[in-house]
Amino acid sequence: MSASKLKVVLTRRLPDAVETRMRELFDAELNLTDRPMDRAALQAAVQRAQVLVPTITDVIDAELIQGAGDQLKVIANFGAGVDHIDIEAAVARGIIVTNTPGVLTEDTADLAMSLILAVSRRIVEGAQVVAEGRFEGWTPTWMCGRKLWGKRLGIVGMGRIGQALARRAKAFGLQVHYHNRKPVSALIEEELGATYWDDLDQMLSRMDIISLNCPATRDTHHLLSAERLARLQPHAILVNTARGELIDEEALAKAVDRRLLAGAGLDVFEKEPAIHPGLLGHPNVVLLPHLGSATLEARQDMGDRVIANIMTFQNGHRPPDRVIPAML
């Protein structure tokens, strides 16, 4: 093995083509079992790796970073979200953190739109009826959901994914509204026919559908609290393809149980992979196992982006997807 090759440790199994390319370019240590590393394994990894390639399943907190060896120079995250990494602690140690933005935008927007459709039109519930042999023929009043055309969609977080969802929603005849830290450009607003709300509470109380598409930060933890969930209209549905921590799941479970909203579609969970038991068993709640970026194309693109970041660093340049605290 060439001494010029960086020691790269992968915490999970990645697509075969990505792992093969990493073996060609770096001194890459693979996780062939694909079992998540426990704390001890992560502590050992940061003692030998020059580059650590973690995923969302790995908690890279300040304690772990402080215990890393001096040889650790890059944390090249396989994924766009970096809320599982203490960026400030890494920067303080002179460790570069990178992510893979943009490559999962369209796939996550597809899934958000799918959840909106699934909850509104009771698709999962209907499929279960057929699978269980309970379908006895069409009737005028049975399994009626709600149409999308003309409804108001409130997007919380109008970044890449929020805008991609808005384009899909517009094609379905939805009226697009959004809340963001600041308005998007006038050109984008015009393209999407989007209405900006600077007050989230005001928007929540007026929407038929709410979609969460913002990152998880200290400021967005439990963004949808019990108080804010109570602002939703009884016929509204809630979709989350961003991060589970954005919703107070205990409050959501109570709201669903009391029928304070019409339904929910969740791809992420507050204490993933654990799911709040109060969310299970409701026909109007669609729960998915974090499928937002789960396409062959997206996972390959994510791996290619990780490799590009590591190669750029190895060649003595600043990685293109460097994450700094000011970005969060």
177 labelled catalytic: no
Q: Work out the number of other CB atoms within 10 angstroms of the CB of residue 276.
A: 19
290 labelled catalytic: yes
Residues 60 and 161: their CA atoms lie apart, in Å, by 25
**Structure-token pair, residue 71:** 């040889």
Residues 59 and 262: their CA atoms lie apart, in Å, by 34
Catalytic residue among 121, 272, 282, 322: 272
Catalytic residue among 23, 93, 290, 322: 290
Contact 73, 96 (CB under 8 A): yes
∠ CA 212-215-218, rounded to 5°: 115
Contact 8, 50 (CB under 8 A): yes
Contact 251, 280 (CB under 8 A): no
Catalytic residue among 243, 276, 299, 305: 243
What spatial distance separates the first Cα and last Cα of the chain, rounded to whole Å? 38
**Structure-token pair, residue 260:** 């304070």
Q: Which residues are catalytic?
A: 243, 272, 290
